[in-house]
Amino acid sequence: MFMTSPEINSLALSLTMAIAAGLVGCFAVMRRMTLAADAISHVALPGIGVALLLRINPMIGALAMLMLGAVLIWGLERQTGITTETVTGVVFSVALAIGSMITSGDQLIEALFGGPGSLSALELSLGLLGSCTVILFILRARNSLVVALVSPDIARTSGINVARMNLLFLLAFALTIALGVRFLGVLLMGSLIIIPAATARHLARNLGGMLAISIAVAVASTIIGTYAAGLVHRETGPFIISIAGGIFFLSLLT
């Protein structure tokens, strides 16, 4: 069966999003942000709720709230010295409570689990631009990210602005989540960032291999999960993450 133009557009965006998620996830796992990744995605919920109340595109609200949440987490971490996961947990709890109060019914289900839907030309263009921005940032800054992770002191003496690098990574992280909310929802998007990277960390012997395997798992999960969800006319998120989880458990047998 031939795919229609809207289906091709949706697939193109979901695949570039998956590549971005695979790359970002590797550094999130190395930074021990496994739990924070899932929590940050929930910050999008109140943004979606406000956008629906204002009758504007929910993705605009999700992106705005995620970016605000990333900056807030970064600022609180710098000022208080509290770990990223702890600060994220507080922000996540408040955001989830507020989002649940202002979003209800079918809107809440779609926000939580996602769905392919139809993309406007503007959504497609901005989505592809955002995905490519994240991909290029991670590929260009990967060495600096590794050095800043292993030894912030060495990074500083090498001329790397560690605080700025941390902020840029959190913003890239938030943007990646915003790109995937449509397909996986706020409940599961963090899982697509973490599970492929966790699989890659178990299988890879170096950073390059880890990045490649993580991308492959994220892309394969997205393609197979989206196809399976379409066959039974269900939300895409649970299928995509189930496939990714299955690949992870299979990797443990090696």
Q: Which residue has the higher pLDDT, 12 or 206?
A: 206
Asked if residue 7 is part of any domain, the answer here is no
Looking at the structure of the chain, the number of domains it has is 1
Has residue 5 been placed in a domain?
no
- Measured distance CA(78)–CA(252) in Å, rounded: 37
Nearest CA to 221 out of 19, 9, 12, 6 is that of 19
144 is a domain residue? yes
Question: Would you say residue 48 lies in a domain?
Answer: yes
Q: Report the share of the chain in percent with pLDDT over 90.
A: 29
Assigned domain for 1 exists: no
Measured N-to-C along each axis, helices 207-232 and 121-150 cross at an angle, to the nearest 10 degrees, of 150
User: Are 69 and 117 a contacting pair, CB within 8 Å?
Assistant: no
Question: Range of 211's domain?
Answer: 12-251
To 10 degrees, what angle do helices 162-203 and 121-150 make?
Answer: 90
Per the model's pLDDT, the better-predicted residue between 38 and 116 turns out to be 38
The answer to which of 5-19, 23-37, 82-96, 230-244 has the lowest mean pLDDT is 82-96
The alpha carbons of the chain give a radius of gyration, in whole angstroms, of: 18
Quick check: is 3 in a domain?
A: no
Q: Looking at residues 50-63, what average pLDDT do you find?
A: 78
Give pLDDT, residue 96: 66
Residue 205 lies in a domain: yes
pLDDT digits (tens, 9 = 90+) for 173-202: 989 988 887 777 666 788 899 999 999 999
Between 29 and 186, the higher pLDDT residue: 29
C-alpha to C-alpha distance for 127 and 16, rounded to whole angstroms = 9
Residue 32: give its domain's CATH number: 1.10.3470.10
Question: Within a domain: residue 4?
Answer: no
Report yes or no: 222 and 240 within 8 Å, Cβ to Cβ.
Answer: yes
